[in-house]
Chains A and B, each alone.
Chain A
Amino acid sequence: MDLFGRGAGALDLQLEAGDLALVDARDLPLASGFADLCCGLQPPAEGEVRFLQRDWSRQPAEMADALRGLIGRVMSNPGWLRFLDATTNVLLQQIHHTRSDLGALREDAARLATHFGLPGLPNGPIAELSPADLMRVGFVRAFVGEPKLVILESPVQGLHQDLVPALLNRLWEVRDRGGAAIWLTRSRMIWDNPLFPATHRLRLDHQGLSSIKAAA
């Protein structure tokens, strides 16, 4: 993925297959805007944003949607559709973009759900899940299928730092398959951890995206 824009805040980032960028983004709306930029939902003021060598701005709407179907994203505001059950919410992206067998998708999602500490894939109304379970279900949604890029917007907050190893395990799987990941964080614990397996460390603020050398 190439990402650069020149304007109020300059962004310059290129991720290759297997890369994991850890981005210190304390401003939540800015982090969401950056994630939208990476997904082609928001055009850059200047420059271009590319995904799988394709410039988002040059893609027809249908193609852009299909490309977004290859991106798994943990959103700061997950936007669950309350009229759909939890299973359909989790699998909706795969149901829409792929012809994968529904049973196989459910199995994959259930395996991921167990990995993230759920007893299985919840199938009741999404509104009945606790915030902690919703967070886990959000992880399942981002990793189900075979995403080429995973964007995590402050995925782990507060008391749920124990989920970081599980997330990193899944990220290794994505990276081993030739995908890449962007982890936007506000957590000092994650940012200051020298063992965090990031290939890029960056800081995002209103001046733009700046590269930071690893602490260790």
Chain B
Amino acid sequence: MTDATPALTESPAAHAWRRPLAWVGRSIRSRLRFLLSLMALSAGTVAESLSPRAWRRSARLEFRRVLRMALGGSLTATVFVATLVGVGMVYQAIYWLRVAGQEGSLGNLLVAILIRELAPILVGIILLGRSGAAMLTELGQLHSERQLHALQAQGIDPFQILVMPRGIAFALASYTLGVVFVLVTMVVGFALASVLDVVQTSFWSFLDALLRATAPADFVVFPVKMLAIGLLIGSTACLTALFAQEGEDIGRLISRGFIRGMLAIMLTSGLLSLAI
């Protein structure tokens, strides 16, 4: 066996191919810079959070604070929207499927539309609007007030204290709010149908129909969707703040962060739906 390194010389034809390919790569990368950074940051957040060493007291403190903020800030809005969806969708589905004599399809309909699609997107939008914007406001002055520099001067890695706890806290908040959303929607829709005598079965039979309609993949995809959406909302807000120009207007930053967050929610939800 020899240690000889293969020669890196190439023919002029290969070199001629490389330049346009490099140009294509460069232009795609510049356009996808934010997306690539977002993916790297999110993957880094997950990887780092698995190491107990990353969870120093300061990171735990910030995690608890952000989790409280994300849950507390979005819980009322989530319950309110879930109540509206319960009335506007679950009750209507129960009513019209009964009129059509298709009560047996109720579970399939609710799982396919509500649990797989609507809940992750609506909860994501609520979380983004209520807590993501608040977080962007918090982090928007990182550059202008030299807060990043102050952290580094104290030997504190901004990733460990600003990015990782936020990403994980938003992921858990999103999952929790998703579960709350689905429960409230079902309870409100069924309660209204019971009060108006549209349904004669018990709540447990209703839940049983839902469970029977739920495919094994749904038990994986729903949590993954909620966790991924929360993580991406947190990462998007952090990245938007970190990429901000010095002295950039907070209002512009929030609107940019909101659009990016919306894209992240839609893409994640769509891609994971394709997985089923």
**Contact partners of B61 in chain A: CB under 8 A:** 88, 95
Complexed CA–CA distance, A97 and B57 (Å): 9
- A66 touching B150 by the CB < 8 A rule? no
**Contact partners of A46 in chain B: CB under 8 A:** none
B152 within 8 A of partner (CB): yes
- A75 touching B153 by the CB < 8 A rule? yes
Nearest A residue to B137, CB-CB: A83
- A80 touching B145 by the CB < 8 A rule? yes
- A96 touching B57 by the CB < 8 A rule? yes
- B153 touching A92 by the CB < 8 A rule? no
A136 within 8 A of partner (CB): no
Complexed CA–CA distance, A140 and B56 (Å): 22
Known: A92-B58, A92-B154, A96-B154. A79 touches B138 (CB 8 A): no
A179 within 8 A of partner (CB): no
Q: From residue B94, how far is it (CB to closest CB) to chain A in Å?
A: 45
A-B contact count (CB 8 A): 71
Residue-by-residue, is A10-45 near B (CB-CB < 8 Å gives 1, otherwise 0)?
A: 000000000000000000000000011001010000
Known: A92-B156, A93-B156, A96-B161. A79 touches B151 (CB 8 A): yes
Residue-by-residue, is B131-157 near A (CB-CB < 8 Å gives 1, otherwise 0)?
A: 000000010010001111111111111
- A66 touching B155 by the CB < 8 A rule? yes
Nearest A residue to B57, CB-CB: A95
**Contact partners of A67 in chain B: CB under 8 A:** 155
A53 within 8 A of partner (CB): no
- B150 touching A36 by the CB < 8 A rule? no
- B149 touching A77 by the CB < 8 A rule? yes
Known: A88-B61, A95-B61, A96-B57. A80 touches B147 (CB 8 A): yes
**Contact partners of B154 in chain A: CB under 8 A:** 68-69, 73, 92-93, 96
Nearest A residue to B56, CB-CB: A96
- B147 touching A97 by the CB < 8 A rule? no
Complexed CA–CA distance, A203 and B154 (Å): 25
Which residues does B use to contact A, with CB under 8 Å?
Answer: 56-58, 61, 65, 138, 141, 145-157, 161
Give 7 nearest A-B pairs by CB, closest first.
Answer: A79-B150, A68-B155, A96-B58, A65-B155, A69-B155, A83-B138, A93-B154
Which residues does A use to contact B, with CB under 8 Å?
Answer: 35-36, 39, 41, 61, 64-69, 71, 73, 75, 77-84, 88, 92-93, 95-97, 99
Contacts A41-B149, A75-B150, A93-B154 given; 16 further ones with Cβ under 8 A? A61-B157, A64-B155, A65-B156, A73-B154, A77-B150, A78-B150, A79-B145, A79-B148, A79-B150, A80-B150, A81-B147, A82-B145, A92-B58, A92-B156, A95-B61, A96-B156
Would you give 8 A-B contacts (Cβ < 8 Å), ordered by A?
A41-B149, A66-B155, A69-B154, A71-B153, A79-B146, A93-B155, A93-B156, A96-B57
